[in-house]
Amino acid sequence: MQRKHLLFAVALLAILLSILLVVVPESHAMAHNTIFIETPTATPDTNQILNQANTVATQADHTATEAQNTLNVVNFVLALFSIIIGILGLISGALVAYAFRIINRYRKQLDEGQAEMAKMRTAMNNTQKAVVYLGLGDRLYNQDRKQEAVAIYRKVGSLLPGDAEIHNVLGRIYSGTGYYEDAIKSFETTLAADPNFAEAHMEIGLAYRRRGDAQKGPDAETLRKADYDEARIHLKRAIDLRPNYEDALAGLGAVYRRMGDDERLSQHDAKARECYEQAREYYRQAQIADQSSSYALGNVASLSWFLGEKNAANNYFTLAEAVARIRIMNAGRSPEIHWDYYDLALAQLVLGTLNKNETTKDEAIKTYHTAIQLTPGPVQFDSVLNNLYLLQKAQEHIDRLDTVISMLRAAKSK
């Protein structure tokens, strides 16, 4: 830029010098003629004067052209410089804006990272607390302080509100202790996280069936029917997700058997029989899916007895007795071994009746005592009694059945 200004200054000096070169000689000639007027001089040639004038004019035009060219260059450079400055300004603005975006992005990521870390820290703390509460709840439950245990389990659920596995566990505990509302909510939480969790569908179906069994009051029949419908929906969904799911098949058998009870109480004998036959078919499918299931065999046998198929009942009770004994030998300290004792006791009671064997009946009573001692709560007593009430209505009488029912009622009331 300084060089261009220098060129411009040089061009201006050149123009001034050219003018001086023209003016100074003429002034000197005029002075010379004035001072030495007495000396004669030759008259200048007109053409020569014109040529000199043209030469000076040409030099002046050339100098002016060079000056103009210099000015044009300077103007072009200035214009180009302005454009470059503008472009640099735009680029700088874009870079600044981009830099701000990058900074804001990293700041946002940093904030999100900090929030995630805080969330993880809270989740870890809640998990640790939940484990402690879960252990405390189990201890209270084993001490038969079930109401206190449930209060502790609820704290576990509130600490881990979105944990599908823990809510599935809590749901089973609630369902087994008769807190059906809590159970259903827990299983719904599990299914919200994993809609294809077959076990959760089976368990919530069981919870709905149990709640239906427990309905009381003027609207009991309507509410019970609604619960049974929900139970069937979830149990069938469990079977869709896991074909030959023994627990879900047996669960459907239990629902249809209770539906048959309602139809029988309403004196709809044809509908009742249809429900009982449907129940027996589901129990049979459950037994095929798990041939070691004394529960499924016992229910097929009980329904066959109620439906008047005495020979079939005899065969199924014989199988149920053998399978139940094997299960008891192999179960060890299984928390649900009471079911196997109930299956064995009923088979002994019926077979003792069929064979008119008092010793077998005595063994049945002893087995029932053992089962009662192992039963965790009233929910399980209700399930056993429900089946015995059905057998109590059968045409064929079972010896000492009334005694067994009285034993169970007394145990449940303690």
Q: Residue 85, class by beta-carbon neighbours within 10 Å (0-12 exposed, 13-18 middle, 19+ buried)?
A: exposed
Q: Which helix (H) or strand (E) holds 261?
A: helix 246-265
Let me know the angle formed at the C-alpha of 181 by 179 and 186, rounded to the nearest 5 degrees. Answer: 95
pLDDT of residue 28: 42
322 pLDDT above the threshold of 90: yes
Say which DSSP state 108 is in. Answer: H
- 180 pLDDT band, cuts 50/70/90, is very high
CB 348 within 8 A of CB 361: yes
In the chain, what are the domain boundaries? 178-291, 293-414
What is the C-alpha separation between 405 and 372, in angstroms, rounded? Answer: 11
What is the C-alpha separation between 319 and 306, in angstroms, rounded? Answer: 18
CB 191 within 8 A of CB 230: no
What is the C-alpha separation between 400 and 357, in angstroms, rounded? Answer: 12
pLDDT of residue 15: 60
Single-letter amino acid code for the residue at 205: G
Fold of 293-414: 1.25.40
Percent of the chain at pLDDT > 70 equals 79
Cα 110 vs. chain centroid, distance in angstroms?
25
Using one digit for the tens of pLDDT, what is the confidence trace for 185-233? 999 999 999 999 999 999 999 999 999 999 999 999 999 999 999 999 9
CB 317 within 8 A of CB 304: no
Mean pLDDT on 272-278? 97
CB neighbours (10 Å) of residue 143?
Answer: 10
Same fold, 178-291 and 293-414: yes
Using one digit for the tens of pLDDT, what is the confidence trace for 110-126? 677 777 777 778 767 88
Strands (E) in 329-414, as ranges, are none
CATH 2.60.40.10 fits 178-291, yes or no: no
Mean pLDDT on 287-315? 95
Q: Give the SS3 label for residue 333.
A: coil
The candidate with the shortest Cα–Cα distance to 214, out of 250, 246, 184, is 184
CB 408 within 8 A of CB 381: yes
Q: Residue 65, class by beta-carbon neighbours within 10 Å (0-12 exposed, 13-18 middle, 19+ buried)?
A: exposed
Mean per-residue pLDDT of the chain:
84
248 pLDDT above the threshold of 90: yes
Task: Locate 241 and state its tokens.
Answer: 């997700």
Q: Of residues 150 and 3, which shows the higher confidence score? A: 150
Scan for tokens 């799911």, then name that residue. 245
